[in-house]
Chains A and B, each alone.
Chain A
Amino acid sequence: MSLFLEISFSAMANGLHNWLAGSISNATLVSVTEMAIAGVSLLLFLVPLCFFLGYMERKVAAFMQIRLGPNRVGPKGTLQIVADTVKLLFKEGLTPNASDKFLFNLAPIIVVVTSMLAMAPIAFAKNFQIWDINIGVLYVSAISSLAVIGILMAGWSSYNKYSLLGAMRSGAQIVSYELSVGLSLISIVILTGSLRMSDIVASQADGWWIIKGHIPVIISFVIFLIASTAEINRAPFDLAEAEQELTAGFHTEYSGMKFAMFLLAEYINLFIVSAIAATLFLGGWMPFHLGNWSFFNNVMDYIPGSLWFMGKTFLIIFIIMQFRWTFPRLRVDQLLTLEWKYLLPISMVNVIIVTMMAIFGWHL
């Protein structure tokens, strides 16, 4: 037990902080250096993660369709995504002649930057997160509302009717589904009484909310999964880039590394959404605890928190990837009907039930 605690991520971060504070006298310089280290390590985490998610997506697709998937490049096709990246690197980054070049080049940057900003309050392990901001959940939903601007910008500046239509669809979709995402997050915030990520995780020490909160929390978990799949524009909600009707939607005109940035942002968003769901509903890095069974709880504590967190996150990523190969794409009217006539009323009633649960203490 103690061995695991000594080599934990938070101990490493503290050790680094103490070493920096000891060797650099200026406090401002220490925090600037730490910010740089946090940013670089986030990038070093995200790029391999997106490589892996790209590989995983192909393999899950193959699994769902009973075929092998990539199997030629490298062992079991693991290097396929490296080959794809090299291809994208060598491609020419075309800019349409009639486009608004400033906005055209700005859009992919905005999309990637907003995705990365939303990573800040995510707790990877105990005491190991970039910014334990006191409004963590609100911060993530605020930042994710910025992403739509990048998409609208990309669609407008491409000077292409498909891009424009894709961007408008995407904008309408994100703006509508934001409501359901927010309401399902609010149900957990009501039960916890805090927006801070570390408080939310700490409140699940005696059981995850999905177990403690009975059926209402399960309902909001399902709503969160559906609505957030729509918010990150993944199939079956990929009307914004519906290949058959809009060629590729808002990124029709993008090629090379600019296109790769949209792809990167898409995978980062997938990870963030899954990490938020894992943190709020499945306890984040908190091991699986059952009430007062101290022996069982101690056994579970031997598995490091970071493994718990990644395991839960990848479970949800796997579920969202399965959606893609299970459901056909929705039409625009079906999309809006689903949100405004089903998800939103259900989640509003659900929030009221959860509030009553929190007031009367009906949860475990």
Chain B
Amino acid sequence: MDARTIIFYLLAATVIGGGLMAVTSRKIFRSAVFLLFSLIGIAGFYFFLDQEFIAAVQVVVYVGGIVVLILFSIFLTHGSGEDMKKPALGRAVFSALAAAIGCVLTMYLISEHTFQGSGKPALEPSAGNIGAQMLSVTEYGFILPFEVVSMLLLAAMIGCIVIAIKVKVPEQKVMPKIKEETEPVELEVVEELKTEEV
């Protein structure tokens, strides 16, 4: 049993243990923290495979982005500090069954599948190589997924802005600073509201 095996099992225990604790914990904030450990364990696997770039991206996206987002939503949810109710026995049994069947199916597929190496020499994962591959249009280039993901993110961003746009209500007119910053279009809205009140 060499050091690599020990590290592998430690990481695997972190990932699986964190995942199990995340779904079984009665406190929702703790669940999010255990999910964090699980995701960090996966980043650890990428470091273990010498893919530092993917590992850092895993930490930035999942830990720095998604878990923080989850924590913020927990902060803003009413009554999220209380312990969650125990689920009914029937539901618990069927969830466990679904999880077990999914696990067995995945393991069966992985054990049946024969993985073939590409045979090509591995590229050095330097920033320059990663950037070139990301924007490359050749056979193993990633320009299409890159552009699709950027379109998706752009659409999400525009959606966020549309949701977050505020229509100014008359009460806010007492603050002079906001009045200055109001766009001409929104000023019209304010005036409309005022006439309606009159």
Contact = CB atoms under 8 A, between A and B. Distances in A.
Contacts of A78: none
B68 A152 contact: yes
Nearest to A107: B33
B68 A149 contact: yes
B52 A153 contact: no
Interface residues of B, number: 27
Interface residues of A, number: 34
Nearest to B63: A146
B64 A146 contact: yes
A164 B71 CA distance: 12
A142 B59 contact: yes
B52 A135 contact: yes
B56 A142 contact: yes
B33 A153 contact: yes
Contact of B68 (A106, A134, A141, A171): A171
Interface stretch (B109-117, B123-131, B133-141, B185-193): B123-131
A116 interface: no
B56 A139 contact: yes
Contacts of A351: none
Interface in A145-166: 145-146, 148-149, 152-153, 156-157, 159, 164
Contact of B3 (A28, A106, A138): A28
Contacts of B74: 156
Question: Interface majority SS on B: helix, strand, loop or mixed?
Answer: helix
A332 B59 CA distance: 28
B53 A138 contact: yes
A28 to B, nearest CB: 4
B60 interface: yes
A142 B74 CA distance: 23
A134 B67 CA distance: 26
Contacts of A168: 72, 75
Given A138-B53, A145-B60, A149-B68, A194 B128 contact: yes
Interface in B155-170: none
* A-B interface, 8 closest residue pairs, ranked by CB to CB distance from nearest: A145-B64, A142-B59, A142-B56, A28-B3, A195-B127, A138-B56, A142-B60, A152-B71
Interface of A: 28, 32, 100, 102-103, 106, 133-135, 138-139, 141-143, 145-146, 148-149, 152-153, 156-157, 159, 164, 167-168, 171, 175, 178, 189, 193-196
